[in-house]
Amino acid sequence: MLNTHYRLERHTIGFALAIILVASIGGFVEIAPLFTIDETVEAAPDMRVYTPLELAGRDIYIREGCYACHSQMIRTLRDEVERYGKYSLAVESKYDHPMLWGSKRTGPDLARVGGKYSDQWHVAHLTNPRSVVKESVMPNYNWLNRNELRTDDLELRLRAQKRVGVPYTDDMIVHAAEDAVAQAEPDSDKAAGVTARYGEATNVRVFDGDPARVTEMDALVAYLQILGRLTDAAQKTPAGGE
């Protein structure tokens, strides 16, 4: 085998053609499925976008490196489905920029963590993970309770998302900062605007337990509580699809 390789290396043109051939096969295998993308990505008419608060929480999730230990992609393997829930569909990440699928699982997969635990559980877990999971190796993120959420740049963040295909309306963009605060202040006069723009199913409540201010903890918990709940497409997939 090595002799064949050595002989091939002595013929520059032949070696270059062999490289092109192998690269072309690999490229075809990766590119060909893209021509059927409209058939392979499920339709989800009920798919909604992240609210400004949830989007801010997602950015905090990325900033703190949570994706390094938690994946957001449940595979079709039976043990994964039984542990984490319905396997992930491509459409569920339709508005994720960047994708956070991953494969590293120092901690559990979070694709369907939304609604699985209470807000209080998430706050306690992020503040001191071992207070709710004794064997946890996750670091503390207690400063999220102290950091007030920055909202002055949310309009720009939504504009950036719109440029890559997320269907935020001009009304959503203009009210981004206002909606981020209102979503965590259910008694606010502006809370109704959040549900009007993002739907009645939107979580509008005090996520971190402190109604006096809106913190980064509010944003991160709001994001975690919506994971797997932007669309019901997975629940509607026929059982035979498993």
Confidence tier at 134 by pLDDT (50, 70, 90): very high
Question: Residue 83 class from Cβ within 10 Å (0-12 exposed, 13-18 middle, 19+ buried)?
Answer: exposed
pLDDT of 240 over the 50 cut: no
How many other CB atoms are there within 10 angstroms of residue 140's CB atom?
13
Q: Say if 26 falls within a structural domain.
A: yes
pTM, two decimal places:
0.84
pLDDT per residue over 41-63, tens digit each? 677 888 999 999 999 999 999 99
Mean pLDDT confidence for 201-212? 95
Lowest mean pLDDT among 35-39, 165-169, 217-221: 35-39
Same domain, yes or no, for 77 and 31?
no
As beta bridge partners, residue 152 has none
CA–CA separation, 76 vs 92, rounded Å? 15
Which pLDDT score, from 0 to 100, does residue 241 have?
Answer: 46
Structure tokens at 227: 């994971």
Q: What is the CATH number of the domain that holds 231?
A: 1.10.760.10
Mean pLDDT confidence for 67-90? 94
Same domain, yes or no, for 34 and 79?
no
* Higher-scoring residue by pLDDT: 77, 8: 77
Query: Which DSSP state fits 162?
Result: H
Mean pLDDT confidence for 154-161? 97
Domains of the chain: total? 2
CA–CA separation, 233 vs 12, rounded Å? 53
CA–CA separation, 166 vs 159, rounded Å? 9
Confidence tier at 242 by pLDDT (50, 70, 90): very low
Query: Which DSSP state fits 166?
Result: -
Confidence tier at 103 by pLDDT (50, 70, 90): confident
Q: How many CA atoms lie within 13 A of 90 on its CB side?
A: 8
Same domain, yes or no, for 108 and 156?
yes
Structure tokens at 223: 């994001």
Same domain, yes or no, for 27 and 88?
no
Is the separation of the CB atoms in 237 and 89 below 8 Å? Answer: yes
Average pLDDT, the chain: 91
Is the separation of the CB atoms in 200 and 48 below 8 Å? Answer: no
Q: Tell me the C-alpha to C-alpha distance, in Å, between residue 239 and each of 75, 86, 93.
A: 15, 10, 21
- Helix (H) or strand (E) holding 224, with range, is helix 216-224
CA–CA separation, 172 vs 178, rounded Å? 10
As beta bridge partners, residue 148 has 215
Same domain, yes or no, for 89 and 139?
yes
Q: Say if 45 falls within a structural domain.
A: no
Structure tokens at 183: 């979503």
As beta bridge partners, residue 215 has 148
